[in-house]
Amino acid sequence: MIAAFPYLLQGVGQLDPQDRGTYLADLADAAAQAALNVEEVWWNQLPLEVHAGYDRALQ
């Protein structure tokens, strides 16, 4: 999932600005769920910037 993120974000960047927030939040949620389902420790080891980005996407 992490490796695909630059490509996914590039695609989202081409969407109508009003739709981007929803898709970014969905991507962030999917990434977090994938990380938590694989191993919770892995999510906790991510840089704080990733956590902050996830929190911003949820807002």
Q: Tens digits of per-residue pLDDT, 2-31? A: 677 777 778 888 888 888 888 888 887 877
pTM metric for this prediction: 0.48
Q: What is the pLDDT of residue 43?
A: 65
Within the chain, where are the H helices? 5-13, 17-38, 40-44, 48-58
Q: Establish how many alpha carbons lie within 13 A of residue 43's alpha carbon, considering only the half-sphere containing its beta carbon.
A: 16
Judged against a pLDDT cut of 70, whether residue 36 lies above it is answered with: no
Q: What is the pLDDT of residue 59?
A: 76
Burial track 21-48 (b if 16+ CB lie within 10 A, e otherwise): eebbeebbeebbeebeeeeeeebeeeee
